[in-house]
Amino acid sequence: MNEILKLLEKDSRLTAPQIAAMLGMDAAAVAAAIAKAEADGVILRYTALVDWDKAAEEAVTALIEVKIAPQRGEGFDRIAERIYQYEEVDSLYLMSGAFDLAVYITAKSMKDVAQFVFARLAPIEGVTATATHFILKKYKEKGCVFTVAPEQEERMLFI
Amino acid sequence: MMEYKNLLSDNVKGLKPSGIRKFFDILEEMDDAISLGIGEPDFVTPWHIRDAGIYSLEKGFTKYTGNAGLSRLRKEISAYLKRRFNLEYNFKDQIIVTVGGSEAIDLTVRALVNPCDEVIIPVPSFVCYGPITELACGKAVYVETKVENEFRLTAEELRAAITPKTKLLVLPYPNNPTGGILEKPDLEALAEVLRGTDIMVLSDEIYAELTYGQRHVSMANIPDMYERTVVVNGFSKSHAMTGWRMGYVCGPSQVIVQMLKIHQYAIMSAPTTSQYAAIEAISEGDNDVETMRRDYDYRRRFLLDRFRSLELSCFEPKGAFYMFPCIRNTGLTSEEFCERFLLEEKVAVIPGSAFGASGEGFVRMCYASSIGNISEALDRLGRFLKKI
């Protein structure tokens, strides 16, 4: 099962018959396993990894470190929930170390990011501090390098 | 005017150049061609290995090494062969680090073959054994292995090829271009023929890490065969390091010590940067090998499945990264098939005949290429097969 998931995580366009061929499995069994993973919420979504810089879309991405005071009986979850409900939040992780939550957000401009922090994030009860870091360049995401590696010249053609 | 043809070595003039250049001239002109032609990993050398090479340069390790190679590397090779294949070679006098597996093959043949000695070479196989034998003034005796035996050399075929002049048997398994392997019972049957003779074995195990479904067994593992076997291996295929030119050869010290003399005079020592990278590869690279092997296996099964749906006959290759489907029922020769496939569908594959006469009727497809590429190549193959 996990082998199927790993293949799909790398290339979600692989079809069940293709995966079945690659793993030496029965196509119907692979299709059933994928359907079950979808139903169980193991597979959440099929997406494309886009280099928005190349697509000439103006957008800024920021990592916001957030310190919070955990609440009795709720821990971090309640505050995390109040943060991740915002549409502009791409990812949210609970961290060990110097801060508690790592919030990744994408917005149209730096001003919009600032607006989000001032107007939405900082006022949340329990949020005690934030630090915003703008992402200047994406080199690699989800195991995928964003710059195309150069091809070696003059390779041997036959061996 | 110099009359070069009168000056050049007859031996060299007699060598045939590799005969499929013309495809590659065509291929080079095409932008959107897919090549399943080149037999090398599509992976770039893992970063930690490249980094070790770079680091050695930063530290200024740019001098020759000892002739046989860095002792640390030879110790690691010795440990690796024990760990992966249960082979025991003393790093002191049984291992030479060479410039790729190719040099290791050349050393072995040159150290063993006297003029007119016969070298038995199963074909289809990699193209270098015959010419290297001829350069050593030996005689290449080609044995045509059969698709019905999954291109294994059989004991009967071996027995029939042996003469009083036979010096050396080349065992090129896992095999390029067929993907065939020899399993323990096959090796034992061959060993039975060799026992009591003076025939040595050159076991070219460059694809030893790339077997699917079972671990590679070396001829040197078979009882009585250790003392008559020279094992050739290297980093090119297992660690995606073709351009580093890192190979090695192991065998009885009496043979290795003679080979070292040739290496010493012809090569001096293998490239130092590559040797440092190789130490990292062999000591910390087992996971890389396994990851790449698994990826090749996905592609192998994928290709085999598509062949079946195209009704293209192909035995299941269990080693290396090649498929060797039979194209006889197209009515085309291997060369015609490859030329038309390239011109009409822009996919490069290699005629089986390039690897020996018994490769006629087959083509070699290398699956060291992305699933996307392979899938597109197979779509085009389907179209091509319908058309012809």
> Distance (Å, rounded) from C-alpha B242 to C-alpha B294?
19
Q: Do A149 and B243 count as a contact with CB atoms less than 8 A apart?
A: no
CA nearest to B69, candidates B235, B279, B237, B280:
B279
Residue ranges and CATH numbers for the domains of chain B are 4-45+286-387 (3.90.1150.10), 47-285 (3.40.640.10)
Please write the tens of the pLDDT for every residue from B126-184.
999 999 999 999 999 999 999 999 999 999 999 999 999 999 999 999 999 999 999 99
Domain boundaries, chain A: 2-39, 60-138
Nearest to A158 among B20, B298, B371 (CB): B20
Q: Which of A22, A157, A159 sits opposite B298 (nearest CB)?
A: A22
Share of chain B above pLDDT 90, in %: 89
Task: Point out the residue among A7, A18, A157 whose CB comes nearest to the CB of B24.
Answer: A157
- Residues of chain B positioned with their CB less than 8 A from the CB of A158: 18, 20-21, 24, 37-39, 350, 354
Report how many Cβ contacts below 8 Å link chain A to chain B. Answer: 43
> Which residue out of B301, B318, B367 would a mutagenesis test of the A interface target, given it has the greatest number of A Cβ atoms within 10 Å?
B301
Asked if the Cβ–Cβ distance from B37 to A24 is below 8 Å, we say no
pLDDT at A72 over 90: no
Q: What is the pLDDT of residue A158?
A: 65
Distance CA A64, CA A66 (A): 6
The 10s digit of each residue's pLDDT in B238-272 is 999 999 999 999 999 999 999 999 999 999 999 99
Q: Categorize the per-residue pLDDT at A90 as very low, low, confident or very high, splitting at 50, 70 and 90.
A: very high
| DSSP H or E run through B295 | helix B286-309
Q: How many CB atoms lie within 10 A of CB B357?
A: 11
CA distance A87 to B59: 51
CB distance A14–B40 less than 8 Å?
no
Give the pLDDT band (50/70/90) at residue A154: confident
User: Between A7, A24, A157, which is nearest B38 by CB?
Assistant: A157
pLDDT average, residue stretch A31-60: 93
Instruction: Give the list of residues 6+ apart from residue A107 with CB closer than 8 angstroms, or none.
Output: A59, A60, A62, A88, A113, A116
* pLDDT score for A17: 93
List, for residues B278-296, the tens digit of each pLDDT value: 999 999 999 999 999 999 9
Fold of A60-138: Alpha-Beta Plaits (3.30.70)
- CA of B37: which chain A residue's CA is closest? A158
Alpha-carbon gap, residue B285 to B275, rounded angstroms? 14
Whether B108 has a pLDDT exceeding 70, the answer reads yes
Q: Is B129 helix (H, G, I), strand (E, B) or coil?
A: helix
pLDDT higher than threshold 80 for residue B80: yes
Task: State the pTM of this model.
Answer: 0.91
Confidence label for A150 from pLDDT (cuts 50, 70 and 90): confident
Residue in A closest to B237 by C-alpha: A159
Question: What are the chain A neighbours of B21 within 8 Å (beta carbons)?
Answer: 158
pLDDT (mean) for B330-337: 95
pLDDT in tens, A105-138: 999 999 999 999 999 999 998 999 999 999 999 9
Q: How much is the pLDDT for A157? A: 67
Can you tell me the distance from the alpha carbon of B120 to that of B140, in angstroms, rounded to the nearest whole number?
A: 6
DSSP B312: -
The reply to whether residue B38 touches residue A159, judged by beta carbons under 8 angstroms, is yes
Averaged pLDDT, B209-228: 97
Listed as own residue / partner, the contacts of A133-141 with beta carbons closer than 8 Å and 24 or more positions apart are: A133/A62, A133/A63, A133/A64, A133/A65, A134/A60, A134/A61, A134/A62, A134/A110, A135/A60, A135/A61, A135/A62, A135/A63, A138/A51, A138/A53, A138/A61, A141/A49
Least confident of A136-140, B31-35, B57-61: B31-35
pLDDT band at residue A159 using 50, 70 and 90 as cut-offs: low
Cβ pair A7:B18 closer than 8 A:
no
- Percent of chain B past pLDDT 70, that is, above it, reads 99
Please tell me the predicted confidence (pLDDT) of residue A1: 86
Q: What is the pLDDT of residue B38?
A: 86
Q: What is the pLDDT of residue A149?
A: 82
| Spatial separation of the C-alpha atoms in residues B307 and B312, rounded to whole Å | 5
Task: Report chain A residues touching chain B, CB-CB < 8 A.
Answer: 7, 11, 14, 18, 20-24, 149, 152, 155-159
Helix A16-23 crosses helix A27-39 at what angle (to 10 degrees)? 120
Mean pLDDT of B25-37: 83
- Please provide the average confidence, as pLDDT, over all residues in chain B: 95
Does the CB of B240 have a partner CB in chain A at under 8 Å?
A: no
pLDDT of B20: 66
